[in-house]
Amino acid sequence: MRIKKLLALSLAGIMAAGLVGCTGGNDSKSGSNSKVDKDTLVVWTLAKDLETFGKHYEEKTGKKVKVTVIEPADYPTKVATALDGGDKSVDIIVGEPQMLKNFYEAGYFADLDALGAKDYEGKIVDYVWKVGQSDDGVQRAISYQITPAGFYYRRDIAKEVFGTEDPAEVGKLFESYDKILETAETLKKAGYKIFASDAETSYFSGDEPWVVDGKLNVSQARKDYMDLCIKLYQNDYTAFAAQWAAPWLQGMSGEIPQLTADTMWGVGEEGDVWDADKFAEATKDLPKTQVFAYGLPAWGVLTMKDNVGETSGKWGVCSGPASGFGGGTFIGISELSTKKEAAWDFVKFCTLDPETADWWIETSQGDTVSLIEALNKHAEDENAIYGGQKLYKFWLEQAEKIDYSKVTQYDTIIGDAWGAAISAIKTGEKDKDAAIEEFYTAVSSAYPDLVIEK
Amino acid sequence: MAKAKKESAPKTVEVKYDDGTVVTVDPSKKGKLSKRESTGYAFIIPYVIAFCVFSVYPVFKTLYLSFTQYKGGIGIEPQWVGLAKYDLTIHDPLFWKSLVNTVRIWGVNIVLQLGLAFLLTIVFIDIKYKVKGLAVYRAIYYLPNIIAATSIAFMFSSLLDPNYGTFNQILTEIRNLWVVIYNHIPFIHDIMHESGGVTVRMFDYMRPHAVRTEWLGSSKYCASTIGVIQAWMWFGNSFIMLMAGVMGISSDYYEASSIDGAGRWKQFTKITLPLLKPIMLYVGVTSLIGGLQMFDLPQIMIAKTTASYMSIRTVIMYLYQFGFGQNKDVGRAAAIAYVLFFIILIFSLMQFIAMRSEED
């Protein structure tokens, strides 16, 4: 009996200890960072870049950094769960623009002004500096890169069809949605496709904020953008190559099979668009076409670099119908970090150090940094893939046109709902009125406090 | 199950347990636990602690949060807003749409799940078929139950892919075979034309043609598709329950009814079916509770950007959006959870009452 009682009590004890362990998030030694010594900086990131930055920081300073890369889809939940639970073990957290406003509101990012960020005002491209500020104007995060969007186009096709390859002249072919449709028609007649997919225009959609003074703003520009997407799809102006699928990447190096709305996700049993070899085999007998342009932010340079193949040197970059940007990793300090000074040193090293900026330009082979001093230093650098175009100068000009006040915290959900409506209309799933009505319902359900005037 | 032996002037009472142990209890120490009792309590303490921490506390915490405005964050406390979140939920058309979606999926699932389970039960209990190896079949039918939902989602996503999925490939081959039969056998061709109407229109376009049905991507099919997959996952479980119920029916009833001249069908409808009602009620209620909380399969299989997403989004997927999504509103997610709880409660009671009234 005594043994049984002892056994029962020890089981109870183990269970109780387990429960204490489960709720021990406040302890800095808990969780996945328990084996990290007290001087090591703990970084939670969704971009693998920071692993490279971390190693470089260790080499340069001799300080220790532990970088954990978390899947972007899981990142906001992971950060929220840890910090709401009082986890002090994380020092550096990051965010992409669409998640930053919620992170600021939740108080996850520490005040960088208190650590001296104000001294660096004007050294970083303006829109990036503002993205890193909470509504009260306090600096909370800084990015090492800028991500303005542009159209990457084939100079040889531009010369052949439009008689010019000059970025300024080609930019005029994309200056409005109507002009894009005109250009698409001309290219179709010449046997080319204007874009790889109809998603190429997404960075240039509706140049107005989604919400103005608490009211949903479905501007004419938004409606025009919807019409543009529908026409691009329904008139077969694009190559129906789904973004990031094999034909989409292959289009950067030249000819790709001519796909349709029915075959855009695969051709035959073996022709899965996500498997380049199988796709090539399944589509070898299909007629071929070439893609004129891709719409991507500045980081598209890195994607193009790996995929242009024999078309290297035949590319150019020009501006689009609106000034948009996409992505960018913003680095900040966890409000609960006990090593804020050390963490600030890491943030400064990654974002505000001219030597690091130079190193990153070389290491990444073309990423566009946000430090103005570095951009000016490299302004005259010519990029061979783009026929010697001075890309750093171009991206800086594009970034200066970005008006960050047009970005709202509602953008992701409202933008997704608008995208779903466009998708439903272009594929014939719903008629325009029904799809737009569903959009209004989705927005009012997600944000009941917004005023919606149809 | 204890028997107390009282003596004429007892200071203590001997309690004899079924296992033969005799424990002496002093009634004057009323309220104090005996050694044996305290050992028992010690054994259940771990479970009780876990139950309180992981079940009881979250239930009450969720109830509290459903009356608050709370988005999470460091140092941010929930703000009491009364019934505002319930008001919002009840007047939200997308909540009701997601409930309808959920019920549609569950409807397809339960009809197939119970139908298939019943069919198999009939086959296995009928002496005419004399099916051997019940245990093996039971294990095979139960297998889908123990496979992780993510694996099932991945498997069916591959099988049902509109372009290269096995399912559409089979349909394509069947269709092509039928086209050959239709075009080359005059007898079939004539019959089809004589029957006129729909069949002729269906095969008017007679040439080999790949079937590209969007089983998951189209609003028309996706709810039924998910329902069928759910039924495939759960019919083995229902089958085991029903078989257990059948095994529990005394053979006396069947023997007596045979003597009275009842056939197999009569025995099934008059004996088996009525006596299985409690099991059916259990299967129905548990399936309803699980079905209305459906989340994993549609969440994994249907991307947010798919055209069919709004037709497949279940209540829990909708709740998840507020609990963990971009427009986080924990209070609203909690209110949705409680509204769903009351809906499940009402449905379960209705099912219970309906079965009871039939029994009476």
**Domain check: are A76 and A120 in the same one?**
yes
The pLDDT tens digits for B204-223 are: 444 555 667 788 877 788 88
**Domain check: are A204 and A270 in the same one?**
yes
**Domain check: are A91 and A178 in the same one?**
no
Q: Is residue A330 part of a domain?
A: yes
Domain count, chain A: 2
CB-CB contact of B267 with B276 (8 Å):
no
Measured CA to CA in angstroms, residue B93 lies from A107, B98, B221 at distances of 32, 9, 22
User: Of B74, B321, B325, which has the smallest distance from its Cβ to A83's Cβ?
Assistant: B74
**Domain check: are A125 and A269 in the same one?**
no
Q: Is the Cβ of B95 closer than 8 Å to some Cβ of chain A?
A: yes
Q: Which residues contact A315 (CB under 8 A, 6 or more apart)?
A: A152, A153, A154, A155, A304, A308, A385, A386, A387
- Which one-letter amino acid corresponds to residue B150? T
Return residues 134-193 of A near B (CB < 8 Å). none
| DSSP category for residue B32 | S
Q: Which residues contact A420 (CB under 8 A, 6 or more apart)?
A: A435, A438, A439, A442, B304, B305, B307, B309, B310
**Domain check: are A291 and A353 in the same one?**
no
Inter-chain contact B305–A19, Cβ cutoff 8 Å? no
**Which chain B residues are within 8 Å of A105, Cβ to Cβ?**
71, 73
Q: Is the Cβ of A9 closer than 8 Å to some Cβ of chain B?
A: yes
pLDDT of B348 above 80: yes
Q: Quick one: closest CA in B to A110, which residue?
A: B74
Q: Is the Cβ of A429 closer than 8 Å to some Cβ of chain B?
A: yes
Q: Quick one: closest CA in A to B46, which residue?
A: A12
Q: At A198, which CATH number?
A: 3.40.190.10
- Which one-letter amino acid corresponds to residue A289? T
**Domain check: are A290 and A153 in the same one?**
yes
Residue that wins the pLDDT comparison between A33 and B26: B26
**Which chain A residues are within 8 Å of B17, Cβ to Cβ?**
none
Q: Is residue A451 part of a domain?
A: no
Q: Is residue A388 part of a domain?
A: no
Could you tell me what percent of chain B has a pLDDT over 90?
33
**Domain check: are A161 and A74 in the same one?**
no
Candidate ranges A244-253, B19-28, B50-59, B167-176; pick with highest mean pLDDT: B50-59
Q: Is residue A454 part of a domain?
A: no
Q: How does A404-423 read in b/e, with b if 16+ C-beta sit within 10 Å? A: eebbebbbbbbbbbbbbbbb
Q: Is residue A393 part of a domain?
A: no
Choose the mutation target among B19, B47, B74 for the interface with A, i.e. most A CBs under 10 Å: B74
Q: Is the Cβ of B55 closer than 8 Å to some Cβ of chain A?
A: no
pLDDT value, residue B4: 47
User: Of A107, A267, A447, which has the smallest distance from its Cβ to B76's Cβ?
Assistant: A107
Domain assignment of residue A413, given as a range? 149-325+405-446
0.80 surpassed by pTM: no
User: Of A107, A270, A272, which has the smallest distance from its Cβ to B73's Cβ?
Assistant: A107
Q: Which residues contact A424 (CB under 8 A, 6 or more apart)?
A: A430, A435, A438, B307
Inter-chain contact B73–A108, Cβ cutoff 8 Å? yes
Mean of pLDDT values over B140-169: 86
Q: Quick one: closest CA in B to A413, which residue?
A: B326
pLDDT value, residue B171: 85
Q: Is the Cβ of A424 closer than 8 Å to some Cβ of chain B?
A: yes
**Domain check: are A205 and A227 in the same one?**
yes
| pLDDT tier, B2 (very low <50, low <70, confident <90, very high otherwise) | very low
Choose the mutation target among A90, A260, A269, A440 for the interface with B, i.e. most B CBs under 10 Å: A269
Q: Is the Cβ of A15 closer than 8 Å to some Cβ of chain B?
A: yes
**Which chain B residues are within 8 Å of A441, Cβ to Cβ?**
93-94
- The one-digit pLDDT tens for each residue of chain A (454 residues) are 566 666 656 655 665 555 444 444 444 333 455 566 778 999 999 988 999 999 999 999 999 999 999 988 889 989 999 999 899 999 999 999 888 988 999 999 999 999 999 999 999 999 999 999 999 999 999 999 999 999 999 999 999 999 999 999 999 999 999 999 999 999 999 999 999 988 899 999 877 899 999 999 999 999 999 999 999 998 989 988 888 888 889 899 988 888 776 666 555 545 556 666 666 666 776 778 899 999 999 999 999 998 999 999 999 999 999 888 988 999 999 999 999 999 999 999 999 999 999 999 999 888 999 999 999 999 999 999 999 999 999 999 999 999 888 888 888 889 888 988 898 898 888 899 999 998 999 899 888 889 998 7
The pLDDT tens digits for A5-17 are: 666 566 556 655 5
pLDDT value, residue A27: 40
Q: Is the Cβ of B12 closer than 8 Å to some Cβ of chain A?
A: no
Residue B166: how many CB atoms within 10 A of its CB? Answer: 12
Return residues 99-118 of A near B (CB < 8 Å). 99, 102, 105-108
Return residues 62-91 of A near B (CB < 8 Å). 76-77, 80, 83-84
Could you tell me what percent of chain B has a pLDDT over 70?
84
Rounded Cα distance between A372 and A393, Å, is 10
**Domain check: are A229 and A281 in the same one?**
yes
Q: Is residue A12 part of a domain?
A: no
For chain A, what is the HEC assignment?
CHHHHHHHHHHHHHHHHHHHHHCHHHCCCCHHHCCCCCCCEEEEECCCHHHHHHHHHHHHHCCCEEEEECCCCCHHHHHHHHHHCCCCCCCEEEECHHHHHHHHHHCCECCCHHHCHHHHCCCECHHHHHHCECCCCCECEEECECCEEEEEEEHHHHHHHHCCCCHHHHHHCCCCHHHHHHHHHHHHHCCEEEECCHHHHHHHCCCCCCEECCEECCCHHHHHHHHHHHHHHHCCCECCCCCCCHHHHHHHHCEEECCCCCCCCEECCCEECCCHHHHHHHCCCCCEEEEEEEEEECCHHHHHHHHCHHHCCCEEEECCCCCCECCCCEEEEECCCCCHHHHHHHHHHHHCCHHHHHHHHHHHCCCCECEHHHHHHCCCCCEHHHCCECHHHHHHHHHHCCCHHHCCCCHHHHHHHHHHHHHHHHCCCCCHHHHHHHHHHHHHHHCCCCECCC
Inter-chain contact A12–B38, Cβ cutoff 8 Å? no
| CA A182 to mean position of chain CA atoms | 29
Which of A380, A396, A419 marks a domain boundary?
A380
Mean of pLDDT values over B188-217: 62
Q: Cα distance from A48 to chain B (closest Cα, Å)? A: 23
Inter-chain contact B88–A438, Cβ cutoff 8 Å? no
- Which one-letter amino acid corresponds to residue A122? G
**Domain check: are A333 and A413 in the same one?**
no
Q: Is the Cβ of B88 closer than 8 Å to some Cβ of chain A?
A: yes
Which of A365, A380, A395 marks a domain boundary?
A380
- Classify the phi-psi angles of B91: left when phi > 0, otherwise alpha if psi is within -120 to 50, otherwise beta: alpha
CB-CB contact of A86 with A108 (8 Å):
no
pLDDT value, residue A31: 42
User: Of B74, B161, B321, which has the smallest distance from its Cβ to A336's Cβ?
Assistant: B74
Q: Cα distance from B164 to chain A (closest Cα, Å)? A: 4
Inter-chain contact B304–A416, Cβ cutoff 8 Å? yes
Q: Is residue A426 part of a domain?
A: yes
pLDDT value, residue A99: 87
Rounded Cα distance between B74 and A343, Å, is 19
**Which chain A residues are within 8 Å of B321, Cβ to Cβ?**
446
Inter-chain contact A11–B73, Cβ cutoff 8 Å? no
Domains along the sequence of chain B with CATH = 3-80 (no CATH), 87-162+213-359 (1.10.3720.10)
Q: Is the Cβ of A400 closer than 8 Å to some Cβ of chain B?
A: no
Q: Quick one: closest CA in A to B21, which residue?
A: A1
Token pair 């002729």 is found at: B200
Inter-chain contact A19–B310, Cβ cutoff 8 Å? no
Inter-chain contact A15–B88, Cβ cutoff 8 Å? no
| pLDDT tier, B1 (very low <50, low <70, confident <90, very high otherwise) | very low
Q: Which residues contact B221 (CB under 8 A, 6 or more apart)?
A: B213, B214, B215
Q: Cα distance from A233 to chain B (closest Cα, Å)? A: 15
**Which chain B residues are within 8 Å of A245, Cβ to Cβ?**
none
Inter-chain contact A105–B49, Cβ cutoff 8 Å? no
| pLDDT tier, B3 (very low <50, low <70, confident <90, very high otherwise) | very low
**Domain check: are A296 and A438 in the same one?**
yes
Inter-chain contact A19–B53, Cβ cutoff 8 Å? yes
Q: Cα distance from A157 to chain B (closest Cα, Å)? A: 32
Q: Is the Cβ of A211 closer than 8 Å to some Cβ of chain B?
A: no
Return residues 150-179 of B near A (CB < 8 Å). 161-164, 169
**Domain check: are A200 and A313 in the same one?**
yes
pLDDT value, residue A26: 41
**Which chain A residues are within 8 Å of B93, Cβ to Cβ?**
441, 445
Return residues 212-231 of B near A (CB < 8 Å). 212, 218-219
Inter-chain contact A445–B92, Cβ cutoff 8 Å? yes
Find the angle CA(A338)-CA(A340)-CA(A343) to the nearest 5 degrees: 115
Strand A41-45 relative to strand A65-69, pairing: parallel
pLDDT value, residue B193: 65
Q: Is residue A17 part of a domain?
A: no
**Which chain A residues are within 8 Å of B88, Cβ to Cβ?**
448
Q: Cα distance from A39 to chain B (closest Cα, Å)? A: 24
Tokens of A142: 């800084």
Inter-chain contact B75–A107, Cβ cutoff 8 Å? yes
